Amino acid sequence: MELTKEQQQILDGAQGETMAKIMKTLVMYGTTFGAEKMVPVTGKMGHLVTSFGLGVMKPVYALMDKLIAEGAVSKQKFTVDPKPLDKNVPSDFLKNLVFNKFMYSAQDSYDAQLEKLGLASKDGYSCTCYLDEIGNKPEKGDVLSWAESSAVVYANSVLGARCNRNSGIIELFGSIVGYVPYFGLLTDEGRKATWVVEVKTSKLPEAQVLGSAIGMKVMEDVPYIKGLSEMLGTQLNDAVCAYLKDFGAATASNGAVGLYHIDNLTPEAKEQGPALIAENARTYVIDDAELERVKAGYPVMWKDPDAKPKLCFVGCPHLTLAQLKEWTENVAAGLKRTGLKKVKIPTVFTAAPAVIEAFNKLPEAETLKNTGVVLSYICPLMYMNNPLAGKMPVITNSNKLRTYTTGRYYTSSEILDIITGGDRQ
Ligand code: F3S
């Protein structure tokens, strides 16, 4: 790899042994993917994927201590994925014991390490770091060092920033040294679409099912999507961005998509149009039957497939303020229709701390409280990723949560019916 004079000096130890090792790691990482140079990180903020203090991650804590002791902290402030624990989320004695004493026993000390390394704020824990309330919104063309897959695909596709799907720690190293290897989604060539997806459905598809279908088909490739903006619109307004947030998270988790282009909608597709499509790109046609086929193929991981759900999660990725308001109105209206006072299934809506703060100033906050829904800042995946919660029959409208846990997927309107009793079960 060809390094600049400054990069070579860092590698040779001019800024100390630790910085040299960090640079060496990034150079080796880039070389593996064929990078020929390192480029500066230009985004104002980083975003780390690891927010949870799992007791078993001892080598990570030792590494963090070493970085802090040697002053090798992040050059840029960063946000981080949501925390795993919140006492407001329904739990029982055994789970609390397992969560606090065994699983996430290092949470407090890890939080303190993150602060020393450059955490932007005590509230900077959310996968939707790019929302206005949180403020980590990159500019078009910015080069980033992020890892969280739902945030990376959003930054690349909706905001036009440039970031690879890095792993945890690699993204921190990029933020510390201020350079990332130049390959993949950082390059013009790597941003070309090798799939054309033709959406031919009778109505706007459920974002999470469309994303799932595309993710499972194209895997890590870049799709260019035609036919969607005709139904979704051609402006990136709040509602469209929220749709794309959920759609992108499903493409990134049901497959490994880091960037998608939507004809007439996303910034690069608006500028370059079909010129973004690579030669010999393959075609995938999605109609109503294909979406049905994909949804019907999701395995039910519950021990008893007929069990009554014990918990419902909505908000993976975290909900926007407008989504929170809409869900609140829909749940309240649903309960009014069925004559129930509270939701039938313990339900948790998740959103960023700053979004929750903004929501709590609105009249809808009281309405939501009255429905019995709990509002939390946690990551539902971190809550469920253990044998105790894994055995619970949990329902969700998140295809990411379904993919990584035993959670069962339902569309948003199905979830609404189930929790408000509209399903007449
Ligand atoms: Fe966000 Fe956790 Fe889902 S990080 S995307 S809420 S798995």
Tokens representing residue 362 in the block: 């609105």
**Ligand 1 centre from 149 Cα, in Å?**
9
Distance 83 CA to ligand 1 centre (A): 10
* Token pair for 10: 């860092």
Give me 290's structure tokens: 């294909």
Question: Which pair of tokens denotes residue 160?
Answer: 């036009």
Q: Which atom of ligand 1 is least distant from the CA of 398? A: 3
Distance CA 43, CA 113 (A): 22
Residue 386: per-residue pLDDT? 80
| Exposure string for 288-302, b = 16+ CB within 10 A, e = fewer | eebbeebbeebeeeb
CB-CB contact of 263 with 229 (8 Å) = yes
Please state the φ and ψ torsions of residue 35, each to the nearest 5 degrees.
-70, 140
Using the structure block, give the residue that is written with the tokens 């789970």: 95
CA neighbor of 116 nearest in space, from 59, 61, 55: 61
Return phi, psi of residue 348, to 5°.
-125, 125
Say if ligand 1 is within 6 A of residue 82 CB: yes
Tokens 């998740």, residue? 350
| Pairing assessment for the beta strands 408-409 and 394-396 based on DSSP bridges | parallel
Cis peptide before 317 (omega within 30 of 0): yes
What is the distance between the alpha carbons of residues 248 and 50, in angstroms, rounded to a whole number?
20
Query: Best mutation site among 150, 251, 384 for ligand 1, i.e. most ligand atoms within 8 A of its Cβ?
Result: 150
Instruction: Give the distance (Å) from ligand 1 centre to CA of residue 386.
Output: 16
pTM above 0.85, yes or no: yes
| pLDDT confidence of residue 97 | 79
Q: Distance between CA 101 and CA 252 in Å, rounded?
A: 32
Residue nearest to atom 7 of ligand 1 (CA): 381
Ligand 1 centre distance from Cα of residue 37 (Å): 32
Mutational pocket test of ligand 1: of 81, 128, 377, the residue with most ligand atoms within 8 Å of the beta carbon: 81
Amino acid in the structure at residue 299: P
Q: Which atom of ligand 1 is nearest to the CA of 317?
A: 5
Question: Ligand 1 in contact with 150 (CB < 6 A)?
Answer: yes
Q: Whose CA is nearest to atom 4 of ligand 1?
A: 127
Alpha carbon distance 11, 136 (integer Å) = 29
Q: Tokens 């079909």 identify what position?
A: 274
Cβ atoms within 10 Å, residue 114:
22
Residue 55 is predicted with a pLDDT of 87
Residue with tokens 């201020």: 178
Question: Which residue from 41, 270, 67, 59 is spatially nearest to 141, judged by alpha carbons?
Answer: 41
Strand pairing class (311-319; 347-351) = parallel
Task: Work out the number of other CB atoms within 10 angstroms of the CB of residue 147.
Answer: 25
Give the C-alpha separation, 170 to 82, whole Å: 19
| Residues listed for the chain | 425
Question: Helix 321-338 crosses helix 364-371 at what angle (to 10 degrees)?
Answer: 50
- For the chain, percent helix, then strand, then coil, each to nearest 5? 45, 15, 40
Q: What is the distance in A from the centroid of ligand 1 to the CA of 214?
A: 19
pLDDT confidence of residue 48 = 97
- Which residues have C-beta within 8 Å of that of residue 23, sequence separation ≥ 6? 7, 10, 11, 177, 179
Give the Å distance between the CA of 145 and the centre of ligand 1: 18
Three-state secondary-structure class, residue 2:
coil
User: What is the rounded distance in angstroms from the CA atom of residue 142 to the CA atom of residue 159?
Assistant: 9
Q: Which atom of ligand 1 is nearest to the CA of 404?
A: 7
Cα gap 318→155, rounded to integer Å: 15
DSSP one-letter string for 386-406 = SHHHHTS-EEES-HHHHHHSS
Which atom of ligand 1 has the smallest separation from the CA of 316? 3
Tokens of 386: 């253990």
**DSSP string over 134-172:** T---PPTT-B--B--HHHHHHHHHTS--B---PPTTHHH
What does the block give as tokens for 104?
A: 């996430």
- 95 Cα–ligand 1 center, Å: 20
CA distance 59 to 73: 17
User: What spacing in Å lies between the alpha carbon of 404 and ligand 1's midpoint?
Assistant: 10
- Specify whether the CB–CB gap between 27 and 11 falls below 8 A: yes
Q: Distance from the CA of 152 to the center of ligand 1, in angstroms?
A: 12
Give, for all 425 residues of the chain, the pLDDT tens digit.
999 999 999 999 999 999 999 999 999 999 999 999 999 999 999 999 998 888 888 999 999 999 999 999 998 999 999 999 898 898 887 778 788 777 889 999 999 999 999 999 999 999 999 999 999 999 999 999 999 999 999 999 999 999 999 999 999 999 999 999 999 999 999 999 999 999 999 999 999 999 999 999 999 999 999 999 999 999 999 999 999 999 999 999 999 999 999 999 999 999 999 999 999 999 999 999 999 999 999 999 999 999 999 999 999 999 999 999 999 999 999 999 999 999 999 999 999 999 999 999 999 999 999 999 999 999 999 999 887 888 899 999 999 999 999 999 999 999 999 999 997 54
Our answer on whether the CB atom of 317 is closer than 6 Å to any ligand 1 atom is: yes
Residue of 51, 125, 318 best suited for mutating to test ligand 1, as the one with most atoms within 8 Å of CB: 318
